[in-house]
Each structure stands twice: as C-alpha cells, then as structure tokens.
Structure 1
Amino acid sequence: MPSPATHPPSPESRCPCGTGEVYGSCCGPLHSGAREAPTAEALMRSRFCAFAVHDAAYLLRTWHPSTRPEELELDGTILWQRLEILGTQGGPFDDAARVRFAAHYRSRPGIPPEERVRGVQREDSRFLREDGRWLYVDGVVG
C-alpha cells in the first residue's frame, strides 16, 4: 500500500511520541522546522511521531546524508501506537549518541483479518550531530 498523506495531529492533541505533552509543543515544532531536536532522544521521538503521522519528508530531512535513501515510502497499513525508550548514550553536548527503543505497531482498522499484524520493532539507533542538528545515521534491529 502506498504511503498515505501526512496527517499531523491537532496542536492540542497528545503527541504520539509518548512524552505526555501536546503535539503543538512537542514534536510539532520539530516537524515544521520551527526548532531542532536538542538531543538524540528528542530526535528519535520526533521520528517515531513522523512515522505515526506519515511525514516521510521529515524522516528524510533528519536522516544523515551518508545513509539516507533517495526516497521513502511508508507502509499505509501500519499504525504506530507507542514508543518506549529503553536506553540512551550521549547527551546534549555530545556529537554522537545512541538510542535503544521499542516501537509498538499494529494493522490499521479495515485491514482484512488474514493480513493483520501486531508487533514490536526494537532497534539500537545511532545519531550524529552536525552543524548543531541531530541526524539519524542507522540502527541495528533486534
């Protein structure tokens, strides 16, 4: 299924990234370019949120050029439900960091029963900060 159109939540709704904050003061400003993620963890959360709202352009913008694909097509059948940060290495003054996470997903409503999926993607992701911007480099899934 092709990538659905980006559909950000309203600024007053709870942000999909799991911080408990509203989208308008959490990941929304990062997605719009109004501010940069201050840490690799904040970038990881905003990238999870971008998967949840189908913002492929943001995912590409925040991907390190050395590993970034030419284009990105998101799976329109998947609903990203919840993010757990399992551990971090590196802080706001470092230029390299790692974030271990578990991203919970399931099929969107309307998917035929025989095609439904539910699962957790676990990844240890690497990030670099260049020119003051955190960028996703790559990750080991598992």
Structure 2
Amino acid sequence: MTMPSDFACPCGSGHLLSACCGRYHAGPPAEPAPTAEALMRSRYSAFVLDRLDYLLATWHPDTRPATLEPNEPGLRWLGLTVRHHRVLDANHAEVSFVARSKLGGRAHRLEEVSRFVHEDGRWFYVDGDTGGRISGEVSGRP
C-alpha cells in the first residue's frame, strides 16, 4: 500500500507524511529519526505503508529477521497511541505503545514496550515485550 505524501501521516502526529515519517522513509540519504519515539512512529507508518525495506534497515542487526512478509490483504491499520517514551541513557530508550488494526472484520490490538539502541548516529529497534497483551492475531512489530 502506498500513500501520496499529501496524506496525513499514519503515525497520528497530525502532520503530512512528507513532513513527518516520510522524511525518514526516503532512503539514503534519508535523515535518521532523531529519537526512539520518532523511530517507533516511523516504523508504525512503515508497517501501514508496507515499507519492508525501511523496517529491516531500522531493525538492529543482532535481532533483525532475514525477511518480512507484506501486510495480509485486507489488513487495515487503525491507529497508534504512544503511551510513553523513556530515555534510559544516551544510547538506550523504551517506547510503550498500542497499535490497532482490523482484518476480516476482527479488531486486533498490539501493546508493546519496545527497546531501542543508538549506534553510529542512528536509532535501531532491538526487540519488544508484549507481556501477553496481544489481542487478536497481529503479526510483526511497528
């Protein structure tokens, strides 16, 4: 799924895609997300837009899967709520969020505390803890 850059950014910021997450998705020499929260929001938007290249590029190499599958046909991402962004130290941060989607008439909700690391001037998604708070069958992590 692709969206013109004049659409509202899927991350829910209220900004246009081109002025928000789209500037991080642009590919080399894209500007890196300045915070773990900005990276998490841009990864959610990348899930919505099926930007698998961006998702893999922003996943830390130590935990990154070899490949990702595109969204299932008919999957609709409904929204993102960031609960908190906590800086642990200069190179580590956590972002707690809820991502909602709908597939086949069933609502799905993913609640996660994601961990991020800052290396070589860029933030990377490392992993996340859902703590058993997944309802429905949401695959992948924004």
Instruction: Please indicate the TM-score interval, normalised by the length of the shorter structure.
Output: 0.7 to 0.9
Residue in 1 aligned with 2:105?
A: 116
- 1:85 aligns with one of 60, 63, 82: 82
The within-5 A match list for 1:1-142 is: 7-33=1-27, 34-77=30-73, 78-90=75-87, 94-107=90-103, 115-141=104-130, 142=133
Count of residue pairs the alignment pairs up:
128
CA distance in 1, matches of 2:67, 2:114: 20
Q: CA deviation at 1:75?
A: 2.9
1:92-113 alpha-carbon deviations (Å, 9 max, x no partner): x821000000001002xxxxxx
- TM-score, normalized by length of structure 1? 0.85
Query: Amino acid of the residue matched to residue 7 of structure 2?
Result: S
Offset at residue 120 of structure 1 (A): 1.1
Contact in 1 for aligned 2:115/2:126 (Cα 8 Å): yes
Mark the CA change 1:35 to 1:8 in structure 2 (over 3 Å): closer, same or farther. Answer: farther
Q: For structure 2, which runs of at least 5 residues remain unmatched after alignment?
A: 134-142
| Residue identity (%) | 43
Distance in 2 of aligned mates of 1:70 and 1:136: 15
Deviation at 1:29, TM superposition (A): 1.1
Question: What TM-score, normalized by structure 2, do the two folds share?
Answer: 0.85
Aligned to 1:4: none
Residues 11, 45 of structure 2: 8 Å contact kept: yes
Aligned-pair RMSD on alpha carbons? Answer: 1.4
Whether contact under 8 Å (1:52, 1:81) holds in the other structure is: no
4+ long deviations beyond 3 Å: none
